[in-house]
Amino acid sequence: MENLWAPWRMTYILEEDKPEGCIFCLAVDGKGADDLVLGVGEHSLVMMNKYPYNNGHLLVAPRRHLPGLDRLSDLEMTDLLSTVRRAVNALKEVMNPEGFNVGLNLGRVAGAGIEEHMHFHVVPRWGGDTNFMTVFGEVRVIPEHIRATCDKLRPYFADLK
């Protein structure tokens, strides 16, 4: 049997001081996500997913704490989708993926982990990124540390004000 070493996971396992409150609202207030926030604009924000499906997995959310699309203004909706497009373009430039999963889970039964504050998942994909490790071992292999990916992506969102 071979070992897969991921010592940084111990931080997550032992983490006892998880922030209270909504991670997106904390990001807007500049108090959250262990500096994984890439940018906060007038109506939207972008942050790294701390528990990614794949390397470069981003979260794009409206600033306002809303559970769904129906209460977004037209301006917020336009800004949110423009920010999703910006996220896709930044990932294309930095990581050269072969495709993307872009999704929005509304409600717990639809898979929303944080159902009270809607957000898009932007996940870059490459051929073979789901392999035997994921299928048989129920383990995802993330080839680059999240902080390194964050540092590479941050300049693409610096002007998001």
Q: Residues with catalytic annotation?
A: 119
Which of 83, 102, 86, 89 lies closest to 44, judged by CA? 83
Do the Cβ atoms of 33 and 50 come closer than 8 Å? yes
CA distance 21 to 3: 36
Distance of CA 152 to CAs 56, 71, 79, 85, 92, Å?
A: 10, 33, 23, 17, 12
Provide the 3-class DSSP secondary structure of residue 116. coil
